[in-house]
Structure 1
Amino acid sequence: MISLLTPSHWKDYELIDCGDFEKLERFGDIILIRPEPQAVWGKQLPQSEWQKLHDIRFKGRSATSGEWIKKNPKTPDRWYINYANKDVNIKLRLALTSFKHVGVFPEQAVNWDYISESIKLFKTAEPKVLNLFAYTGGASLIAKAAGADTTHVDSIKQVVTWANENQELSNLQNIRWVVEDALKFVKREIKRGKKYNGIILDPPAYGHGPNGEKWKLEDHILEMMQDVSRLLDEEEHFLILNTYSLGFSSVIVENLLKSTIQNPQNMETGELYLQATAGNKLPLGVFGKVRRV
């Protein structure tokens, strides 16, 4: 089944408008203007409204780096937001980074709901969940809060430290933190005979491991999917694959799932997007997921 999915109940996040390669969004009480390469259409709100509403604007020196310009110098560089659904509640620290990110990808909230829902459906008392390319840990926190034995893997030590801080803010503990190249970690887990009830993959289009290992989505995703399929528990499992690459479609993700997972059940593929209050939709990657319960 092909679906279009967007978060619908997050009080601390709002996409206000997007267009002209920018997005206007609220995180808690702070409103940001950030670059958005997908927003090739025009804005719905007038530029004067954008200027009036925003607190901080990202001014890029390149496609990926730049500086934040504050209207009020007293606006904090760090602040906090909450996320809750019917099963879990987590808290996240946000911060202004030089790469236009703030520590969370809001469209992933749809996957967070799927994670907590899946864990609650499992008969396994403490299902094991593996989060690969795990960033600052939103999905890891959700899995842990829902009752899973959770392993968080990312190649960048600073973001794993950030994720650990989010764990403390969320009054959680005992997530297993791993700073390592995701593909190398998966291959070692196979050798160890490990199995997981849930696996989450949100790989970048390009990336590097802690020892300079190169990751390119189209070159390595098939090998990664073949390997993680060997880690899935045969009786109860879910797997989420999310890709943010202009060259990937939901049909590609569907083919990957069908070719690497034996007898995939409850398969769903589609596109994640954010619904702007102003009326337009911002596409933010394609996803695929399977679940056996």
Structure 2
Amino acid sequence: MSTSTNIQLLTPQHWKDYELIDCGDFEKLERFGDLILIRPEPQAVWPKTLGDAEWNKLYHIKFKGRSSTSGEWLKKNPKTADRWHIEYKNNDVAIKFRLGLTSFKHVGIFPEQAVNWDYISESIKSMKTPNPKFLNLFAYTGGASMIARAAGADTTHVDSIKQVVTWANENQELSGLSNVRWMVEDALKFVKRELKRGNKYNGIILDPPAYGHGPKGEKWKLEDNILEMMQDVVQLLDPKEHFLILNTYSLGFSSVIVENLIKTSFPQVENLEIGELYLQATAGPKLPLGVFGKFRKLAK
């Protein structure tokens, strides 16, 4: 049994439609397809590498707001579209995303998650279980759901916000996929009901926010609820063949905490990997964007 405590640093590779160009001074300069955006980034406490003049020359759209989460988008060219499409490919599958400018600085994708997408498609493709069942909790616009479905999994997508589930459905259609099971629901309540039903999954990813609310006002706070969630979620894993990814983005939440959560919730864990996700800027800096723990057991 392997329960390695080596901490890995992982970043997406070979993504033609995404590039972190530079980051610093609490901002990041990113290319999504043909559009280059400036967005706030609280982790980028170091100075920019390229400098303001280069940034101002390169960008097409900039987020300006009173805080890093609320504001407005400023376009150099007013005719620049509010919505556009990009593609993600790995060795197993290809999917497409509809991106858009939201009032909360987000565009509908978290690029660092491509590392987890690769693990999902690789795991599903390696399974002997026919039509493996996959569960995406706190699923947002469905990158992991699309990857799992494209890899051949029977996929369930759970998020508490109806608008982002609708957005995920658009991504499904763009990707030429169908039959994802959409659930607008509180993730913890959904897991508890699945336990009562006796359902099992071959793959699970959960990417919980630091704070959140369910559709009926249920409160989520990472430090208060993550242990209960993990203790329930691991009971949903098919004992013969499974994988799980726990991903968190919360300042001060370390990969060692994730390791302890997984080991105490699932003592029989095999092939445990923990570490940090980051984006490698073309200009040089590494931008940390969350910690993860993941493990899998494949049939021999």
TM-score class, shorter: over 0.9
Structure 2 partner of 1:90:
95
Q: Structure 2 CA distance, aligned partners of 1:165 and 1:281? A: 32
Which secondary structure state, in structure 2, belongs to the residue aligned with residue 230 of structure 1? Answer: helix
The one-character-per-residue Cα deviations of 1:120-154 (angstroms, maximum 9, x if unpaired) are 11100100000000000000000000000000000
Q: What root-mean-square deviation, in Å, do the aligned CA atoms of Structure 1 and Structure 2 show?
A: 0.5
Is the counterpart of residue 48 in structure 1 residue 67 in structure 2?
A: no
Q: Structure 2 CA distance, aligned partners of 1:64 and 1:216? A: 18
Q: Structure 2 CA distance, aligned partners of 1:46 and 1:157? A: 40
Q: What TM-score does the superposition give when structure 2 sets the normalisation length?
A: 0.97
The one-character-per-residue Cα deviations of 1:99-124 (angstroms, maximum 9, x if unpaired) are 00000000000000000000011100
Structure 2 partner of 1:156:
161
Match of 1:102 among 107, 124, 132: 107
1:64: how far off? 1.2
Is the counterpart of residue 215 in structure 1 residue 209 in structure 2?
A: no
Note if contact 2:30-2:36 (Cα within 8 Å) is conserved in structure 1: yes
Q: Percent identity?
A: 81
Letter in 2 for 1:178: M
Q: Structure 2 CA distance, aligned partners of 1:222 and 1:60? A: 35
Structure 1 partner of 2:3:
none
Match of 1:35 among 37, 40, 47: 40
Letter in 2 for 1:136: T
Is the counterpart of residue 254 in structure 1 residue 259 in structure 2?
A: yes
The one-character-per-residue Cα deviations of 1:52-90 (angstroms, maximum 9, x if unpaired) are 000000001223110000000011000000000010000
Counterparts of 1:195-234 in structure 2, within 5 Å, are: 195-234=200-239
Is the counterpart of residue 112 in structure 1 residue 140 in structure 2?
A: no
Q: Structure 2 CA distance, aligned partners of 1:155 and 1:252? A: 25
Letter in 2 for 1:278: A
Counterparts of 1:238-253 in structure 2, within 5 Å, are: 238-253=243-258
Counterparts of 1:126-145 in structure 2, within 5 Å, are: 126-145=131-150
Stretches of structure 2 that go unaligned for 5 or more consecutive residues are 1-5
Which secondary structure state, in structure 1, belongs to the residue aligned with residue 236 of structure 2? Answer: coil
Q: Structure 1 CA distance, aligned partners of 2:133 and 2:14? A: 27
Note if contact 2:41-2:68 (Cα within 8 Å) is conserved in structure 1: no
Letter in 1 for 2:274: T
Q: Structure 2 CA distance, aligned partners of 1:226 and 1:236? A: 18
Structure 2 partner of 1:124:
129
Q: Structure 2 CA distance, aligned partners of 1:290 and 1:259? A: 14
Q: What TM-score does the superposition give when structure 1 sets the normalisation length?
A: 0.99
Match of 2:80 among 75, 78, 87: 75
Structure 1 partner of 2:192:
187
Structure 1 residue runs of 4+, over 3 Å off? none
Match of 1:22 among 27, 30, 35: 27
